[in-house]
Amino acid sequence: MAYDEFLADRIRNCLKEKNVEFSELRMMGGLCFKVDDKMLCGIHRDKKLDDNLLMARIGEEAYEQAIEREECLPMDFTGRPMKGYTFVTPQGFDLEDDLEYWIQLCLDFNPQAKSSKKRKK
């Protein structure tokens, strides 16, 4: 099963309400939202949990507080958690205010985030 289209629409609406220009990139069965050509957040279908997770790029400082929350998991694809990224379980973004909170954390960090290196064609 692919990512949750309803969640994708909720994220799109949140970004549009904030007047944020963004792009989307489908990757690894999920969907990534980018702002200023930098990864902002995304949707990841977790096979172990059989659920959709919100991937949030919030930076290392915000991560230290966020990971203490019950609804947060380390973003770990390879056995080594990625610094400054967290997965949020559905209980953490079920309400619109909760989703907006996570999107705002991502937007707050985005100006400090580094762009990924461009691949040569």
Task: Give the model's pLDDT for residue 115.
Answer: 80
pLDDT at 7: 96
Q: Is residue 60 part of a domain?
A: yes
Q: What is the separation of C-alpha 77 from the centre of its chain, rounded to a whole number of angstroms?
A: 14
**69-116 tens-digit pLDDT:** 999 999 887 778 888 999 999 999 999 999 999 999 999 999 998 887
Beta partners for 34? 23, 39
Q: Which domain holds residue 83?
A: 5-111
CB 86 within 8 A of CB 66: yes
Domain count of the fold of the chain = 1
pLDDT band at residue 119 using 50, 70 and 90 as cut-offs: low
Q: Which residues contact 70 (CB under 8 A, 6 or more apart)?
A: 91, 92
Q: Residue 35 and residue 58: Cα distance in Å, rounded?
A: 13
Is 24 among the domain residues?
yes
- The model's confidence at residue 121, banded by pLDDT at 50, 70 and 90, is low
pLDDT tier at 117, thresholds 50, 70, 90: low
pLDDT given at position 49? 81
- Given the structure tokens 């379980």, which residue do they identify? 89
Residues 6-24: what's their mean pLDDT?
A: 97
Structural domain contains residue 94: yes
Tell me, what's the pLDDT at 108?
97
Residues 32 and 83: their CA atoms lie apart, in Å, by 17
- Tens digits of residue pLDDT in 34-48: 999 999 999 998 888
Higher local confidence (pLDDT), 119 or 63: 63
Q: What is the CATH number of the domain that holds 94?
A: 3.90.1150.30
Assigned domain for 116 exists: no
d(C-alpha 93, C-alpha 57), whole Å:
15
Is position 13 within any domain? yes
The enclosing H or E element of 43 equals strand 38-46
